[in-house]
Each structure stands twice: as structure tokens, then as C-alpha cells.
A and B are shown apart, each in its own frame.
Chain A
């Protein structure tokens, strides 16, 4: 019989090494997978993980991909440290894009330096408003914010559909479900000429820097940490749990909304039903791969962006199925959580089975590992 027992000491260095080990394990698993598929594993891996790093276009596209991932993941890291599980960043992303995009369309062809900032504000508020629903339901009725935020994602995507089929539809668009293209004043400025990398990336880096200061130096960061590690102690300490829940959801919702607006006003340039492509969910992996640490999240955002771009390159060059990207992203999270369990727990073998004890322990392992993932 196998049982997991907590280790007495968890090496701090190991915490930062495990994501690297997880990447290694994932690549190894990838080699096996490609070998079984009958594809040249070395070529496939180098196409996915190295090729994009040698090409300036691919690098610029990695910035395009990493921008929303980092922005959303930075926001999520607050909540995940405090045990506030916002799984619905995808929905907040969508509503943020919708709110900011609606402003752009309402001010169609209005010139002015203030148009874009106003759109950003609307994007942030849109994301916050969507996150306020799970915040309110949790603080008022103790409703599970995981379920509420997740379910609201589907509502948000349908809301986007309804609006681009209706009031936000391009009047000259032959009834196709798309908005107009935003006019230049309502478009995010480009960071590097001739690419799609936009200034949203600088905002994402700034958000990471601010988060680093707040989490490390500010009393709110301390409250978040205590609440995550010991909610009871937080209560004794006089922290108001509801306030932390609200703050965490507002931060993550606002940043997700801003990411959505940047996506709509940046690479896409209009509102389309297919705008949400799963950044809100991938950002959850980024958050954990980055160890809930702002610097880690920036790096993890790029690793994740690399899997997208590399996956496409491999598809074009080697005809690998597009599912490769998703498989790699899933394996990252899986091996990270798996290695986390092994660093925190030791496996003990027993001769006689002990029904009733093993199952709940094992079931508790993963959430525990995830919850204390931050340093």
C-alpha cells in the first residue's frame, strides 16, 4: 500500500528548481510521445522549443502571446496566494474586451489621445465588474468562487456573441457577426515596428513590478500570504477575510479585463466572437509554473508563449497535429504538480492495506501542494 507522508523540511531552493525540472520532464515525455508517433523527436523538440528563439518574427509573436498571459497571471497570483480561486479570468478577459471595445465603437472615428486610456479604463472596470459577481456571492453567501467564476466564463462568451450579432455588429458587414475594425486612435500602439508586439507588454511588466513590491513590502501582500497559509491565524490577526477576497478578485478581474482590451485593440483590432482563445485558462498554468512569483510569472509567460508559437512551427514544418500545444501545456502543469507532491511528501510503502485512510489523504495532496505553492 502506498501512502504519502509530509516531509519535515522542504528545501526552499527546490521550490525554484522544480519548475525547471517540470519543463525537463515535459520535454522528455514529449520525446517519447513523438517517438511513438513516428516523428523525429529531436527535430520536433528543437522546432518547438528552440526554433522560435532564433527568429525575430517568432520572438515578436511570443511577446504578443506572453502579454495577456502575464497580465492575467499576475492578477491571479494574488488570489492564489490567499486561497481565493478565480478560475474565471477568461470571462473577465472577455467582458473587459467587450467594455473597452464598446467604448471604441461608441467613439468611432473620434480622434484624441484620451480615447485609448478611456478604453483601458472601461476594460479594467469591465473585468472588475465580472469578478465582482463571484466576490459578492462568496463574501455574502459563501458561494464557491471556483464554480461561480468558471460558469460566468461561459456567460461572458455568450454575451460577447450576442453583442457582436446585435448592437455592436459592423453596419457595413453584410450581417456577419463582427464589429467594425477599431480606428487608429482606438488601437494599441505598436512597440516594435513591423510586428504586432504592442505597448501592452510594457504594462504587463509594470504590473509584475508593482505586484512584486506589493506582495513583498506592502501590508496587503502580507495579509494575502497569511490568509493563504493559515486562514485561522489571519482571523486572529484581525484581518478581514472579506476584504482580502474582494481585493484579490478585483485585482485579478481588472488585470484580466485589461488584457482582454489589449487583445481586442491590439492584435485583433475589432470585436469578434472568437476573441477569447483560452488565455484566462492558460494563465492559471503560468501562475503556478511561475511559482506565484511576479518574476517567475514573466518567465513562465514566455515559456507558455513558446509552446504556442513552437507548436505552430512544428505543425507547419513537420505536419504535427495542432493538439501538440495543448498536450505540452497540460504536461507542464501535470509534472509541476506531480513534482511538487514529491518534494513535499515522501512515498511510504506498507505491507497491509489500510482502506479508508489512504484515499482522503491522497485526495488532499494536490490542493495542499497547490495552495502552498508560493514561497
Chain B
């Protein structure tokens, strides 16, 4: 109880102090200040790089009306809350762009009720905390189709980060798609337990190639695997960002996260005083997920198939998880024609039938 009182007291003080600070609609003439917290370096050419592009899009859209700040390489441990709090003291809206920032974001948000927070990929919200994520699995479905068609060894290598629902969903989507066009296809999965570690990612890529993989997919943030694929003359898909620079021959396509429009819209909402806590999960349709140009190395009919799948998903005509699909243990998940609910997808903690190995526990 004492604790609650303390928080309330803190809230009151902060509220009193922030009357004079920018943030309210009454001060619309002042610059809106936007903070970003990144888990990796802005130069990772993957996840954080794309959030940085989103920040730049905000600067471009609003020019002098906004002032943006970012902090990179923020660990998801004890430092996160401090960084977020430092930003909260000076900003009107803060984007915390990694799952591990969830609890620190909520803690700080309690203390700064006037500041708006946007947390990527999490599931806890508050009056001043929104969540947002992208339906990356839609892109995974498309690359799964391509992979199933282009592999000669019928072995796809998959570099996975952490066994959280988002990553498991990606593996299932890609496998399901690949299997649908190539019943002989097999996935080899390596868990590297990191989002960004070029050395580990490169080692994983080499190990997968040694095991016969001729197409690589990754759910990690650096282009290391793409570079190894280029070097070894195999094929690969980029992650989060167009990695064509690192694999001009190897890259078949990349799944691109496009945060810019969302960031611009949310900052605009703060300017207009219409910002509200919400949960956003967008895919191809509004362009939060995109595919980079398909490589010429993909046969024309496969390219057409992939393009159609992408367009159908965007138009809502195709759901990547459409039954019949069984879980790995053979128990039924989706009946014929049934599509997966968002609830099932958000908490997905099982492989679908046919994926080999077991989830790290």
C-alpha cells in the first residue's frame, strides 16, 4: 500500500512538473520530442537499422516540428529502465524497440503518466503504453514458398534467435509454405540465443551449410549469414532489412520491416492530441512488412507464385496458417480450411507437424 502511495505521489509530482513541459496540446507550437531506445547498434543492417530508418522518416515528415533522440545498444537488463527514464524526462513519446524492454517500459510509464510509450513486440499495455508489432510470419510464408522451390538438397538452414512465439511462428510459417510446394523439404534449425552477434551467426551459417543446407533463413539481425552464403555460393534470405549489399548473388529476397509510416502516424497523434493506448499488429496490407526485389535467380514461375502469395495475403485472400495443420506431436491444431486466430499465433509455443527437433526448453 505504501508502495502504491509512493507511486501516486511520484505521479502527482511529475504531473505538476510537466504542466510547464511540452506535451499537452496547448503547447502544440513547441517541438514534439520523440525518443527511441534500440537494443542493437544503428549499424546492425537489420532490426535496429530499420527502426532507425523509422526515426529518420519521422524527422523527414515533420522537420522542425520534432526533435528526435535515440540511445543504441541498450541491454535488456538493468540498464533499460534508466535509459528509458532519462528519455522520459525530456520526451513526449518514446519508442522502446525490443521485447526485453517491456517491464522497464511499464515501470517508467507509471512514473511519467503524461509521456506516451510505444513498446515493440510486447503484450503488456497501460493507459500511456501502446504495443505494436509486425506480422513477419507473412513474409516468412513467402520465403518458405521460394525456398521449397529453389532448394536442390531439400535442406533449408534456419538460424533462430530465441524460442519465443514470434520466432517459432516464423519457423512454422516458412516450413508450412516450403512443405506445401516440396514435400521432401527438411529444415535444420540452429538456436544462437542472441539477436545480434555476427560471429555466432556466421558460425551457425557455416554449420548449416556443412550439414547440406543450400538455402539459409535467419531470424537474427546481422548480415553475417548473408555474407557467408555469398562466400560459399549458396542462397539466402535477408532479415528485417534489405541485405542485398552483403549478398548480391546469394540474396533471394529480404523480409523488410517498415516502421516509418507507423512512427509518423503515432507522432502525429501526439501532435494532434489524439494519441490513445492501443495494440497494433500489421503485415503486408498497410506495408509494415515488405519484400525486397525478388532475385533473378528465382525461376520466373516461382517468382510469380511468390508475388501472388504476397498480394493475396495483403488482400486478405490468403492466411499463411490455413488448416489442416497438426502440431508436431500429431495432435490436430487447425481443421481443414480453418485459419489460425491471433490469440493462437501470439502465444505460439509449438512446432507444427513435420518440423524436426524440439523447442529449446
Q: Which residues of A contact B346 (CB under 8 A)?
A: 174
Establish whether residues B82 and A321, one from each chain, have CB atoms under 8 Å apart when the complex forms.
no
Establish whether residues A177 and B163, one from each chain, have CB atoms under 8 Å apart when the complex forms.
yes
Does B323 touch A at the CB level, under 8 Å? no
Establish whether residues A194 and B10, one from each chain, have CB atoms under 8 Å apart when the complex forms.
yes
Binds B, one of A40-48, A113-121, A205-213, A273-281: A273-281
Q: State which of A165, A181, A193, A275 has its C-beta within 8 Å of the C-beta of B163.
A: A165
Does B89 touch A at the CB level, under 8 Å? yes
Does B339 touch A at the CB level, under 8 Å? no
With the chains together, A269 CA to B103 CA distance in Å?
9
A131-174 CB contacts (< 8 Å) to partner B: 158, 161-162, 165-166, 174
Does A249 touch B at the CB level, under 8 Å? no
Q: Which residues of A contact B165 (CB under 8 A)?
A: 174-176
Establish whether residues A175 and B349, one from each chain, have CB atoms under 8 Å apart when the complex forms.
yes
B44-96 CB contacts (< 8 Å) to partner A: 69-79, 81-83, 85-87, 89
Does B193 touch A at the CB level, under 8 Å? yes
Contact A176 to B72, CB < 8 A, known contacts A263-B78, A267-B81: no
Does A316 touch B at the CB level, under 8 Å? yes
Does B100 touch A at the CB level, under 8 Å? yes
Q: Which residues of B contact A177 (CB under 8 A)?
A: 162-164
Q: How far is the CB of A158 from chain B (nearest CB, A)?
A: 8
Q: Which residues of A contact B123 (CB under 8 A)?
A: 174
Q: State which of B41, B86, B163 has its C-beta within 8 Å of the C-beta of A312.
A: B86
Contact A175 to B164, CB < 8 A, known contacts A165-B360, A194-B10, A312-B82: yes
Establish whether residues B71 and A315, one from each chain, have CB atoms under 8 Å apart when the complex forms.
yes
With the chains together, A175 CA to B166 CA distance in Å?
10
A249-299 CB contacts (< 8 Å) to partner B: 263, 266-270, 272-277
Establish whether residues B103 and A270, one from each chain, have CB atoms under 8 Å apart when the complex forms.
yes
With the chains together, A196 CA to B348 CA distance in Å?
35
Q: State which of B73, B78, B100, B162 has its C-beta within 8 Å of the C-beta of A267.
A: B78
Q: Which residues of A contact B317 (CB under 8 A)?
A: none
Q: How far is the CB of A264 from chain B (nearest CB, A)?
A: 9
Contact A268 to B78, CB < 8 A, known contacts A274-B100, A315-B72: yes
Smallest CB gap from B106: residue in A: A181
Establish whether residues B6 and A316, one from each chain, have CB atoms under 8 Å apart when the complex forms.
no
Q: Which residues of B contact A181 (CB under 8 A)?
A: 103
Establish whether residues B85 and A316, one from each chain, have CB atoms under 8 Å apart when the complex forms.
no
Q: Which residues of A contact B347 (CB under 8 A)?
A: 174-175
Contact A64 to B78, CB < 8 A, known contacts A165-B163, A165-B361: yes
Q: Which residues of A contact B281 (CB under 8 A)?
A: none
With the chains together, A137 CA to B162 CA distance in Å?
33
Contact A316 to B71, CB < 8 A, known contacts A174-B123, A174-B346, A263-B78: yes
Establish whether residues B77 and A268, one from each chain, have CB atoms under 8 Å apart when the complex forms.
yes
With the chains together, A312 CA to B71 CA distance in Å?
8
Does A184 touch B at the CB level, under 8 Å? yes
Q: State which of A166, A176, A193 has its C-beta within 8 Å of the C-beta of B164.
A: A176
Q: Which residues of B contact A161 (CB under 8 A)?
A: 193
Does A322 touch B at the CB level, under 8 Å? yes
B133-191 CB contacts (< 8 Å) to partner A: 162-165
User: With A312-B71, A316-B87, A321-B72 given, can you name 10 additional A-B contacts, CB distance below 8 Å?
Assistant: A57-B85, A184-B3, A194-B6, A267-B78, A267-B82, A275-B78, A276-B77, A322-B72, A322-B74, A323-B73
Provide 14 A-B residue pairs closer than 8 Å at the C-beta atoms, listed in order of the A residue: A57-B85, A161-B193, A162-B360, A166-B361, A175-B348, A175-B349, A184-B3, A194-B10, A263-B78, A277-B78, A277-B79, A312-B79, A312-B83, A322-B72
